Amino acid sequence: MGAVGPTRIEVLHLYKQLIKNSRLFNDYNFREFFLRRSRESFKANKHLNDSQAIIDCYNRGLEDLSVLKRQSIISQLYTFDKLVVEPLKGSR
Amino acid sequence: MIRGTRGRLVGLFRSSALLRNNSRIYNNYNRRRDVLVLKSLDHVRCYSAAVSAVKKLVDDVSLEIHTDIQAAAKEQSEVRNNAASTSNKESKTESEAAILSSSNALKHAYQENTGFGTRPIYLDMQATTPTDPRVLDTMMKFFTGLYGNPHSNTHAYGWETNKEIEKARKHVADLINADPKEIIFTSGATESNNTVVKGVARFYKKTKNHIITTRTEHKCVLEAARSMMNEGFEITFLSVDENGLIDLEDLKKNIRPTTCLVSVMAVNNEIGVLQPIKEIGEICRKNKVFFHTDAAQAYGKIPMDVNKMNIDLLSISSHKIYGPKGIGALYVRRRPRVRLEPLLSGGGQERGLRSGTLAPPLVAGFGEAARLMKQEYESDHKHITELSDRLTKGLLSVEHATLNGSPSHRYPGCVNVSFAYVEGESLLMALRDIALSSGSACTSASLEPSYVLHALGKDDALAHSSIRFGIGRFTTNEEVDYVIKAIVERVKYLRELSPLWEMVQEGIDLDSIQWSGH
Ligand SMILES: Cc1ncc(COP(=O)(O)O)c(C=O)c1O
């Protein structure tokens, strides 16, 4: 095959971007969910070896990132009161 | 007319220029409008300094829309209080005074945590679920450009929308191992259930006149079946045991040569009990009776396979799987073919079973929600089971708290618990910081005890003191811990006010008491 997968730095960068954009959600439940899922899925795929599988995973990550970018903006546009479990000051 | 400084208007002009991006139609439309506006403003010249000042002014316009539901909640509680106080003035009987004093007590039971938000935790996932942002992302393009009618087959606008519809249909079918051709989009599970119960019965009415269902079905199946009685059908409502499960022998005994349909829900919406669908499917297939299951609460949450389980008809609702509200589907088997009379007559869309133009944004959102249910199955299942175990353990640590429904045959995301000697409605009122329900959404408006819990053989008191907790994809550990703490505290508080509880503490057997009055 010889397909060239993303470098380690590229993967790390994608991970950081996913976390950063998850944090931008104004909605507590969505924010926590995307943080949890981003961490979970990177951990689960940590030991991927097959280069095609890595490329597929990376591309899916890029798609997810673009969804997160758009939807975190929407979450900031239409806001609601904070939940009873959310501290008011110093919250993200 | 338009008033304002010249600079301001120029700024507005500039920002509306920003708005017209790449859509040709909007572009031309807006340009025409802007030019008209500006022509009426004698000579507008651009002074760069003024422009940048104005740009700032325009940028100051807040884009955020904040929804304050506290205001709505306050309004409702005021209405309730007013109603209580006026009725109190009219006739100050003892019981009403008691209600008033207990509602004062409730105010004490509900303590606001300063330094935290005020919006309640959402724990009513059986009523509906939040729309997943990824679902919304799929839907957006149908509101911004993909507006063709999917049934228009003479131009590209129709084709492109139709392509998205078929993609969604495949996602919906894949989750239950069906063929996309077997999926009919409807407005929701209520419509799907009605289509089946009325449609199958009417189609076969010349030779068959009997329908079997259960006592714990959702209201829409029960009511649809009841209305078929008026059309001359006989209905058997199967009883359930104390665990909420039907007896398979009982089902076998009740099948007659004239039975056309057996309808048994997969997961119950109030108690989360999972019926033995595979076994029921086998029995129905052997007896050549159509088997319908209402899978509104089960679809995507437990593994379902229409072929392995011999299911002929299956109802699905999108808003229970983080999709949009107002859409659902019906699976109708093609081989062996199930025939039914449509409820709606019209253009013959959806294999002629459900006429009317589809709602592409909803269908596509529903499809994406189904795809996500498949993609996230492992993760969701693990997360929900963990939270459910934690919650169940925490709640059952309360004295005299019992889990309703089978402990083993259940969907973990629905936990229904009765707290004896506490009235469910009072507890709900004391729990304004948690969004819960004392039963299904449709019956919780009335104060009647749940018919589902009655069917399980629970007495009025226990049925009244039950609360349903729904856990989903977006529920967090933190929320569950908050809920456990709040319930434990407030059940204790309400029991301290209860004379019954006092008697129980003193060791008096409540059943031995002769109650006077009603
Ligand atoms: C088991 C069951 N069937 C049917 C429905 C109704 O679904 P819909 O709101 O899509 O009509 C519900 C939801 O309340 C349900 O829980």
Query: What was the pLDDT predicted at B438?
Result: 77
Q: Which of B265, B269, B325 to mutate to test the pocket of ligand 1 (most atoms within 8 A of CB)?
A: B269
The ligand 1 atom at the shortest distance from the C-alpha of residue B269 is 16
B218 lines ligand 1 (CB under 6 A): yes
B439 lines ligand 1 (CB under 6 A): no
Rounded distance between C-alpha atoms, residue A25 and residue A29, angstroms:
9
Contacts of residue B320, defined as CB under 8 A and 6 or more positions apart, other chains included, come to B125, B126, B128, B129, B189, B296, B297, B299
Give me ligand 1 centre to Cα B129, in Å.
Answer: 12
The count of other CB atoms within 10 Å of the CB of residue B474 is 22
- The SS3 call for residue B236 is strand
The ligand 1 atom at the shortest distance from the C-alpha of residue B442 is 14
Q: Show pLDDT as tens, one digit a residue, over chain B (518 residues).
A: 445 556 565 555 565 555 555 556 665 665 666 555 545 444 444 445 555 555 555 567 788 888 876 666 667 667 766 665 555 444 444 444 444 554 554 554 455 567 888 899 999 999 999 999 999 999 999 999 999 999 999 999 999 999 999 999 999 999 999 999 999 999 999 999 999 999 999 999 999 999 999 999 999 999 999 999 999 999 999 999 999 999 999 999 999 999 999 999 999 999 999 999 999 999 999 999 999 999 999 999 999 999 999 999 999 999 999 999 999 999 999 999 999 999 999 988 999 999 999 999 999 999 999 999 999 999 999 999 999 999 999 999 998 999 999 999 999 999 999 998 887 778 888 888 999 887 644 444 555 678 898 889 888 777 778 899 999 999 999 999 999 999 999 999 988 888 778 888 877 776 666 665 54
Contact at CB, B119 and A81, closer than 8 angstroms? yes
Contact at CB, A82 and B119, closer than 8 angstroms? yes
Rounded distance between C-alpha atoms, residue B16 and residue B30, angstroms:
8
Residue B235, CA distances (Å) to B222, B238, B255, B415, B504 in order: 10, 10, 11, 30, 43
Contact at CB, B137 and A75, closer than 8 angstroms? no
Q: In b/e form, how buried is each residue of B22-50, taking b as 16+ CB within 10 angstroms? A: eeeeeeeeeeeeeeeeeeeeeeeeeeeeb
B245 lines ligand 1 (CB under 6 A): no
Rounded distance between C-alpha atoms, residue B217 and residue B270, angstroms:
10
Q: Which residues of A touch B65 (CB under 8 A)?
A: 77-79
CB B297 within 8 A of CB B264: no
- The SS3 call for residue B260 is strand
Backbone CA torsion sign across B111, B117, B121, B122: positive
Give me ligand 1 centre to Cα A33, in Å.
Answer: 25
Domain ranges of chain A: 8-77
- The closest alpha carbon to B21, from B135, B136, B145, belongs to B145
B270 lines ligand 1 (CB under 6 A): no
**CATH architecture of residue range(s) B133-375:** 3-Layer(aba) Sandwich (3.40)
Contact at CB, A32 and B66, closer than 8 angstroms? no
How many residues make up chain B in this entry? Answer: 518
Task: Return the amino acid letter for B305.
Answer: D
Kindly report the three-state secondary structure assignment for every residue of B321-332.
Answer: CCCCCCCEEEEE
CB B360 within 8 A of CB B164: yes
Annotate B392-436 with DSSP letters as a single string. HHHHHTSTTEEE-S-SSSB-TTEEEEEETTS-HHHHHHHTTTEE-
Query: What was the pLDDT predicted at A91?
Result: 43
Contact at CB, A67 and B65, closer than 8 angstroms? no
- Interface residue ranges in chain B relative to chain A, Cβ cutoff 8 Å: 63-70, 113, 115-122, 130, 133-134, 136-137, 140, 376, 379, 383, 433-434, 473-476, 478-479, 482
Summarised one tens digit per residue, pLDDT across range A9-31 is: 999 999 999 999 999 999 999 99
CB B288 within 8 A of CB B266: no
Contact at CB, B134 and A82, closer than 8 angstroms? no
Q: What is the mean pLDDT of residues A76-92?
A: 82
CB B313 within 8 A of CB B302: no
Host H or E run for residue A79: strand A78-80
Query: What was the pLDDT predicted at B43?
Result: 43
Q: Which residues of B touch A31 (CB under 8 A)?
A: none
Residue A42 has pLDDT above 60, yes or no: yes
Q: Give bridge partners of residue A79 from the DSSP assignment.
A: B66
- The SS3 call for residue A57 is helix
- The closest alpha carbon to B434, from B387, B467, B396, B473, belongs to B467
CB B330 within 8 A of CB B96: no
Instruction: Kindly report the nearest CA distance between residue B137 and chain A, in angstroms.
Output: 7
Tell the residue nearest (CA) to atom 16 of ligand 1.
B269
B333 lines ligand 1 (CB under 6 A): no
Query: What was the pLDDT predicted at B47?
Result: 44
Confidence of residue A73 (pLDDT cuts 50, 70, 90): very high
Nearest CA in chain B to A25: B133
- The SS3 call for residue B489 is helix
B328 lines ligand 1 (CB under 6 A): yes
Q: Which of B193, B218, B313 to mutate to test the pocket of ligand 1 (most atoms within 8 A of CB)?
A: B218
The count of other CB atoms within 10 Å of the CB of residue B210 is 19
The count of other CB atoms within 10 Å of the CB of residue B414 is 25
User: What fold is seen in the domain B115-125+378-512?
Assistant: Aspartate Aminotransferase, domain 1 (3.90.1150)
Instruction: Kindly report the nearest CA distance between residue B68 and chain A, in angstroms.
Output: 6
Give me ligand 1 centre to Cα B440, in Å.
Answer: 9
Host H or E run for residue B316: strand B313-317
Query: What was the pLDDT predicted at B16?
Result: 56
Q: Are strands B414-419 and B401-403 parallel, antiparallel or unpaired?
A: antiparallel
- The closest alpha carbon to B193, from B69, B93, B314, belongs to B314
Residue A5 has pLDDT above 60, yes or no: yes
Contact at CB, A85 and B134, closer than 8 angstroms? no
Q: Which residues of B touch A82 (CB under 8 A)?
A: 116-119
Phi, psi (degrees; rounded to nearest 5) at B116:
-120, 170
Q: In b/e form, how buried is each residue of A18-46, taking b as 16+ CB within 10 angstroms? A: beebbebbbbbbbbbbbebbbeebbeeee
Task: Return the amino acid letter for B316.
Answer: I
Contact at CB, B473 and A83, closer than 8 angstroms? no
Residue B477, CA distances (Å) to A25, A43, A76, B179, B390 in order: 18, 20, 24, 38, 9
Q: Which pairs count as long-range contacts for B96-100, CB under 8 Å and 24+ apart, including other chains?
A: none
| Active centre residues of B (catalytic) | 442
Q: Cis bond leading into B336, ω under 30°?
A: yes
Q: What is the mean pLDDT of residues A62-77?
A: 96
Tell the residue nearest (CA) to atom 10 of ligand 1.
B188
- The closest alpha carbon to B471, from B484, B461, B456, belongs to B484
Give me ligand 1 centre to Cα B45, in Å.
Answer: 61
The count of other CB atoms within 10 Å of the CB of residue B494 is 22
B296 lines ligand 1 (CB under 6 A): yes
The count of other CB atoms within 10 Å of the CB of residue B233 is 22
- The closest alpha carbon to B472, from B267, B326, B322, belongs to B322
Strand order in the sheet with B466-470: B401-403, B414-419, B466-470
Rounded distance between C-alpha atoms, residue B76 and residue B86, angstroms:
16
Query: What was the pLDDT predicted at B497?
Result: 85
Rounded distance between C-alpha atoms, residue B89 and residue B270, angstroms:
38
Domain ranges of chain B: 6-53, 71-109, 115-125+378-512, 133-375
* CA angle centred on B369, ends B136 and B151, rounded to 5°: 80
Nearest CA in chain B to A88: B116
Encoded tokens for B381: 């299942």
Taking each continuous run of H as one helix and of E as one strand, the counts in chain A are 3, 1
Q: What one-character DSSP code corresponds to residue B64?
A: -
The ligand 1 atom at the shortest distance from the C-alpha of residue B188 is 10
- The closest alpha carbon to B301, from B268, B330, B278, B329, belongs to B268
Instruction: Kindly report the nearest CA distance between residue A56 and chain B, in angstroms.
Output: 15
Q: Which of B172, B184, B220 to mutate to test the pocket of ligand 1 (most atoms within 8 A of CB)?
A: B220
Query: What was the pLDDT predicted at B117?
Result: 87
Tell the residue nearest (CA) to atom 7 of ligand 1.
B189
CB B183 within 8 A of CB B169: yes
